[in-house]
Structure 1
């Protein structure tokens, strides 16, 4: 690891910690830490003259920690296991339908717009967490960098607008809110919905993990017939 990579990692951590404090002081869907951190880091790279390729090594180190971080979401799952057991069957049905509709709509829209196969593959996996999305898109022959960008964009959109849309539709049940966000907005949405309560966070963790498991299976079947 060279000095620039180490500085970039430390800078990213410091900026994220500052973004978390800012989000606590100014709570809003538009002040979620990952959004403000991304904007600040882009600005720093832009004005410091550091290229993305130079920063990419730091990004790779940080990305490698996504796996352990995702596993840590099992804690709220365990604490709310009884509630999840009670609504397991409706949750499985809703999660399957949500995941399937997300994938199918992305593929059909990409085909309707005559987008490249690489972009179609990246769009199809945008709703699952980054490590799974990257591994899956490699099997489909898609671009991993583009996939990572779409995954982050999808997560940010769900984290910012998901709770707002659910509230507008009068969906206040904690279980339903957590299931919805976790299905389509993976870890970014889960981290945001956790702020509403432990049930939302626990259910969202389950939804995110299950969606990551069934998405490659659904894609394997769809790509065989579409």
Structure 2
């Protein structure tokens, strides 16, 4: 099959599957019907069934990924509309961001060490909670694997989108600001897509937390990681 035709079919298929997953999540409300999870599973099954490799699908992925830029910029709209709420709670938010980012790095590395995993995996796990472009650059500074970092980031984001809101609900955290801060700090863009579905405040705060945690991680990681290894 012509590569261009395969790319176009893959794009249309991906969009169709995602809309279907979104419709399912509205009908069946459950952490396990989160669109990003069900759409990912369905796409893996379809691609495997038709023996389409990741390399063949990657051109479609790049087209779709290019839309992340405008989508991220679009998050500025709810951010602007809720700017007064964000500024009002700015200092507690900054404190929570720093603690949350540090906790994510420390827990990931310590769990990896406890399980006896290799130094490469330990280093790579430290960046699992930040967005992929930042993760693959930052992980090089501490001896991790960029390709593995991308896989960790995606997995972490899916788990955060699926279980994050439910865990916050179980622990009686209902404030939209707090929920957005928690989801964005540990689940980057994938989690933020779920936070947006909860409401404008949650989505706006999550988008800010996503960007801020990436900046904080890239600054402190080269200094913190060597200390963890002592």
TM (norm. structure 1) is 0.90
The aligned residue for residue 200 of structure 2 is: 198
2:102 counterpart residue number: 100
1:65-106 per-position Cα deviation (integer Å, ceiling 9, x unaligned)? 333322322221111100010110011001100000101111
Q: 5+ residue gaps in structure 1?
A: none
2:163 maps to 161
User: What residue number does 2:14 align with?
Assistant: 12
Q: Find the residue that maps to 2:144 and give its secondary structure.
A: coil
Moved more, 63-72 or 211-220: 63-72
What residue in structure 2 maps to residue 45 of structure 1?
A: 47
Deviations 1:175-219, CA, capped at 9 Å, x for gaps:
111111111111121221222221111111111110111111121
In the other structure, the counterpart of 1:172 is 174
Change (3 A) 1:3 1:138: farther
Is the counterpart of residue 182 in structure 1 residue 184 in structure 2? yes
Q: What is the distance in 2 between the residues matched to 1:61 and 1:122?
A: 27
Contact 2:184 2:205 in 1 (8 A): yes
Q: 1:141: Cα distance to partner?
A: 4.2
Aligned pairs (5 A) from 1:43-192: 43-192=45-194
Distance 2:107 2:35 in 1: 29
Q: Do 1:67 and 1:131's aligned partners in 2 also have CA atoms closer than 8 Å? A: no
Backbone CA RMSD of aligned residues: 1.9
Cα contact 2:128–2:156 (8 A) shared by 1: yes
- Match for residue 210 of structure 1? 212
How many aligned positions are there? 226
Unaligned runs of 5+ in 2: none
Q: Contact 1:125–1:133 (CA<8 Å) still a contact in 2?
A: yes
Contact kept in structure 2, 1:66 and 1:131, CA below 8 Å: no
Q: Give the TM-score, by structure 2 length.
A: 0.89
1:139 positional shift: 4.0
Q: Which moved more, 1:181-190 or 1:113-122?
A: 113-122
Distance (whole Å) between structure 1 residues aligned to residue 11 and residue 149 of structure 2: 22
Residue in structure 1 matched with residue 38 of structure 2 by the alignment: 36
What SS does the aligned partner of 2:39 have?
helix
Q: Distance in 1 between matches of 2:160 and 2:46?
A: 26
Residues 178 and 200 of structure 1 are in contact (CA less than 8 Å); yes or no, is this contact kept in structure 2? yes
* Cα separation, 2, equivalents of 1:65 and 1:140: 30
Indicate how the Cα distance of structure 1 residues 117 and 7 shifts in structure 2: closer, same or farther if over 3 A, else same: farther
